[in-house]
Amino acid sequence: MTKRESILALVIVTVLAAAGCQRSHERAPKVVLNEQMISVPELAVRLGLRLDEQNDAFVVLKDETNTVLIFTHPDGRFFVNGQPTGPVGRVKTIAGSIYVSETLATQIRPYLGLGRPVVPQTPTTPRGTHVAIDPGHGGRDPGTTSIYGTYEKDLNLTVAHKIVSDLQRRGLTVTMTRQRDRYPELESRADMANRCNVDLFVSIHADSAPNPDARGFTLYVAEAASSEALRAARAIAQAMATTGLDSRGVRRNNYRVLVQTRSPAVLIELGYLSNAQDCARLLNDAFQDRLAAAIASGIADYLR
């Protein structure tokens, strides 16, 4: 081997060794992450519970005494026997399986008991501060279509996220029935609110009519709605009136999400996507901010 060949071989060996070290360094975080995460079935085993239900929004673990509800979206919380107990923390979905931090078992275990936390180490959310926000339609159900060709489901979700952000800034706990373009069944929306024992359920929609002159927002409660549901609807309607939208008042209709939700429940029709004036406002980002702030203000006024 010539001197030049020897030098070239040495360079190649050095480069390969460095590359190998770099690849080893890049793989290290994955090993650490896997050691810190456990699958949902493993979490159930560690807690002595069974996996009762699992979808892309939440997981339910159960035994004869306890029900643990774990929301798997970012900033999700877990509930033990209907009580909001703490944040879920990191959640990963790998090959269709949900993984959570192994410390979640330690967080949940002290609260397993006869219907309520047995060791109040983590402060629970007091009554009057937990709201369910339900962006209507979604996924395979687009809702109505605006005069500009946009879908109601997208408007509902956008405004709902803005409402949630405002409520969270006010210190309220908020659960969303959907966070993206998917369709939860109507029964599952009400069931989610019931499992969380929320203080108020608010469903967000937009209206349409054959008459293009029909405009304004409407609030609905169930036919047999409680006085609390009526009070919530009136508080929200009063706040929404400050946006400049016409008010069509509070009406009654037995929409399934209103009938099947145990807490006070309100459905809001933000305005008419079939009306040029309402539609232009509802699709304007700045007006959406104003509208969401008004709805959040009405919700907060009711919960005071």
Instruction: Clarify whether residues 71 and 134 are in a common domain.
Output: no
73 and 188 in a single domain? The answer is: no
Element (H, E) at 152: helix 152-169
The pLDDT, as a whole number, for residue 9 is: 45
pTM above 0.85, yes or no: no
Same domain, 161 and 64: no
Clarify whether residues 157 and 296 are in a common domain.
yes
Note the pLDDT of residue 296: 98
The domain that holds 161 is classified in CATH as 3.40.630.40
Counted domains in the chain: 2
Lowest mean pLDDT among 13-22, 209-218, 235-244, 285-294: 13-22
Q: Are residues 206 and 239 in the same domain?
A: yes
Lowest average pLDDT, out of 17-21, 109-113, 155-159, 164-168, goes to 17-21
pLDDT in tens, 230-271: 999 999 999 999 999 999 999 999 999 999 999 999 999 999
Question: Within this chain, do residues 166 and 272 fall inside the same structural domain, yes or no?
Answer: yes
User: Of residues 108 and 18, which shows the higher confidence score?
Assistant: 108
CB-based burial label for 16 (10 Å; 0-12, 13-18, 19+): exposed
Does residue 5 fall inside a structural domain? no
Of 261, 243, 245, the closest CA to residue 297 belongs to 243
Selection from 106, 113, 100, 94 nearest residue 42 by Cα: 100
**One domain for residues 135 and 244:** yes
Q: Which amino acid is at 210?
A: P
pLDDT on residue 1: 53
Q: Mean of the pLDDT values across residues 57-84?
A: 83
Comparing 29 with 174, the larger pLDDT belongs to: 174
- Helices and strands (H and E) in the chain: how many: 9, 14
* Cβ-based neighbours of 27, under 8 Å, separated by 6 or more: none
183 with 90, same domain: the answer is: no
Looking at the structure, do residues 87 and 134 belong to the same domain, yes or no? no
- pLDDT value at 114 more than 80: no
Q: Give a yes or no: residue 275 inside a domain.
A: yes
- Is 60 exceeded by the pLDDT of residue 10? no
Q: What would the mean pLDDT of 53-64 be, rounded to a whole number? A: 83
Which of 26 and 282 is assigned the larger pLDDT? Answer: 282
186 pLDDT above the threshold of 70: yes
E runs forming strands in 15-148: 37-39, 50-54, 58-62, 67-71, 77-80, 83-87, 91-94, 97-101, 130-135
CATH of residue 105: 3.30.457.10
Q: What is d(CA 285, CA 289) in angstroms, rounded to the nearest whole number?
A: 6
